[in-house]
């Protein structure tokens, strides 16, 4: 490869992008292992989580009521990618490769606090612990 200014910029951008991926993956791993400073739904605001869920998650993929949709129903006891607070946080934060579930890490206005708010809302509204 001939060294040109264009090639140097491509290499530099590639290195920066790779570093960002490493940092994001490390952050996601830290959260899912419970090593982050805030690791439970009790630290989130369920009212803000509800607003985000209805406008972002429920507006495009997930539903408040069970039924046929491409995205899973999130208010029952069946969790595909882990059901602890940290695992749910990690799924929202990192997304699920090979699915429509994108990463929301660093994309919500209040960052991790908003993700914890979503987890708190899902816990509050879960039908898992409610009697019929």
Is the model's pTM score more than 0.75? no
Model confidence over 61-97: pLDDT tens digits? 999 989 888 899 999 988 899 999 999 999 999 999 9
- Contact 120/45 with Cβ under 8 angstroms? yes
Higher pLDDT, 29 or 15: 29
77 token code pair: 């006891």
Neighbours of 43 (CB within 10 A): 15
Chain position carrying tokens 């959260």? 31
Q: Mind listing the domains of the chain with CATH numbers?
A: 5-125 (1.10.760)
Mean pLDDT of 7-30: 48
What is the model's pLDDT at position 55? 95
What is the model's pLDDT at position 3? 73
Q: What is d(CA 128, CA 116) in angstroms, rounded to the nearest whole number?
A: 19
């Amino acid at each position: 490869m001939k060294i040109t200014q264009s090639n140097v910029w491509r290499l530099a951008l590639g290195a920066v992008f790779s570093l960002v991926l490493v940092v994001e993956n490390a952050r996601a791993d830290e959260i899912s292992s419970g090593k982050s400073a805030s690791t439970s739904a009790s630290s989130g605001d369920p009212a803000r989580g509800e607003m985000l869920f209805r406008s972002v998650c429920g507006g495009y993929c997930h539903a408040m009521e069970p039924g046929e949709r491409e995205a899973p129903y999130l208010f029952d006891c069946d969790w595909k990618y882990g059901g602890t607070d940290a695992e749910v946080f990690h799924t929202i934060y990192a997304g699920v490769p090979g699915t429509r579930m994108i990463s929301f890490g660093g994309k919500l206005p209040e960052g991790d606090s908003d993700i914890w708010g979503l987890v708190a809302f899902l816990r509050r509204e879960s039908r898992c612990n409610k009697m019929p």
